[in-house]
Amino acid sequence: MNPNRHTVRVLSPKTWALVLALTTLVLALTAGCGPKPTPTATPTKTPVPPSLATATPTVTPTVEVLPSPTATQTRTPEPSPTATQQAGTPTPTPLALIEMGPDINPLTGLKVDPSKLERRPLGVKIPNYPPQARPQSGLSYADVVIEHEAEAYLTRFTAIFLGNDVSPELGPVRSLRLVDSELMPIFRAVLVASGGHPAVDQRVTEGKEWAAGYKRIVCPESPFLGDGGTMRRIPKEGRLYELTLYTDTARLWKLCTDRGINSRQGFSGMWVFSESAPVGGTPATHLKIVYKPNVSEAEYRYDAGSRTYKRSDLGQPLLDALTNTQIAPANVMVLYANHIDTDIAADTHDPNHTWYAVSIQLWGEGPGKLLRDGQEYSGKWVRINPQQADDRLVFLDSEGKQIPLKPGSTWIQLVRTDGSVTID
């Protein structure tokens, strides 16, 4: 016998059938015996985002910024279905962006008189505390409003005006804060304020190109150039003296012209707009932010009829005294950023506690939320080229693409990275 030869035994058909049946039984008994993944609980509150870097980045983040289409831009045609596409499968419709022509307000996406865009935006400081500051005059005419902490967990508004004129009263006008040194270059704006702490004034302007020569600051206090007669006291019943300073946009823009700074500003690559809501959102009809419990609480509720978010403070509608209507922006952004107490004692009225000026580090990038059309979109904000001529703030999705805003006004809520934010 050849030792290298192997003998193969052929099983009978009945034996093969028995082996197959036993194998099938074993597989059925062992299926599903492995470990099961633990289900993740659905959060009822917006998760606290991770802490952000505390220093100004030295490298500009790389992001994909969608260029706003111009009126002369040719749209790319949709591709025809391929041979591998299943019959009957719908082709996704591309989201149509607003064409940013010369008559489109780059801060709202709305069509306006082009002559109104040939002027510089105004950044007006308006209080939201104490409650006697409400109702404010002119907030519903702002293109963008940024709410931020001042000190003691109390908030203040920086209202940006470009496309609308406000008269006869805009205000009350209050003092500037450290964050304005970041907001003014983003919005190419003129800072309008009643005054400021001397140390805050210095840090807002020191080494900042936008503040050189103080031409872009309208403020009656030293060391600034004054208000040029743009502000006046209008006493109101129940109002403290510091809540009686008002202005109007006509006087402010005339002063800008007199100072030689009233010209059209570029916002290329900052925000994009679409009438239709993008895909990927989750239902969100209510937003509540607690800056200081029972003292400073902002709330928005979605109104499907107007497709806007109606604003309330401490459960009371926030009204515009000029129109007696409730504030209702088309978009609400929640931007998480580091908040750092500085060494500037900004409020010493409380003998038991000194409150320090807060530095809100709106540079680099951080997590954020966008609410529009009753939907919530998670993403991140990115500050590109801070303090430079092309300084801009963009809002991106997980793929680094811009998330379109709904045409209309936008309210931005700056909150701490561990801030109390509820979205449902």
Domain ranges of the chain: 114-423
Cα pseudo-dihedral 271, 277, 283, 284, rounded to 10: 40
Contact 159, 142 (CB under 8 A): yes
The distance from CA 240 to its chain's CA centroid, rounded to whole angstroms, is 31
Tell me if the pTM is above 0.85: no
- The CATH architecture that domain 114-423 belongs to is 3-Layer(bba) Sandwich (3.50)
The predicted structure's pLDDT at residue 76: 34
Can you give the length of the chain in residues? Answer: 424
The per-residue pLDDT string of the chain (424 residues; one tens digit each, 9 = 90 and over) reads 444 444 434 445 455 455 455 544 444 444 444 443 333 333 333 333 433 333 333 334 444 444 433 333 333 334 334 433 444 444 445 789 999 999 999 999 999 999 999 999 999 999 999 999 999 999 999 999 999 999 999 999 999 999 999 999 999 999 999 999 999 999 999 999 999 999 999 999 999 999 999 999 999 999 999 999 999 999 999 899 999 999 999 999 999 999 999 999 999 999 999 999 999 999 999 999 999 999 999 999 999 999 999 999 999 999 999 999 999 999 999 999 999 999 999 988 888 899 999 999 999 999 999 999 999 999 999 999 999 999 999 999 999 999 999 999 999 999 999 999 999 9
Identify the DSSP state of 280: T
Residue 245: CA count within 13 A, CB half-sphere: 19
CA nearest 188: which of 143, 232, 233? 143
The distance from CA 276 to its chain's CA centroid, rounded to whole angstroms, is 19
The predicted structure's pLDDT at residue 349: 81
**C-alpha span between 290 and 46 (Å, rounded):** 13
**C-alpha span between 393 and 381 (Å, rounded):** 7
The predicted structure's pLDDT at residue 348: 84
**C-alpha span between 321 and 138 (Å, rounded):** 7
Which H or E run includes 24? Answer: helix 13-30
Which H or E run includes 30? Answer: helix 13-30
The per-residue DSSP string of 193-243 comes to -S---HHHHHHHHTT-GGGGGGTTEEBSSTTS-B-TT--EE---TT--GGG
Residue 326, SS3 per DSSP: strand
User: Which residues are CB-neighbours of 316 under 8 A, at least 6 positions away?
Assistant: none
The predicted structure's pLDDT at residue 18: 56
**C-alpha span between 150 and 340 (Å, rounded):** 12
The predicted structure's pLDDT at residue 111: 98
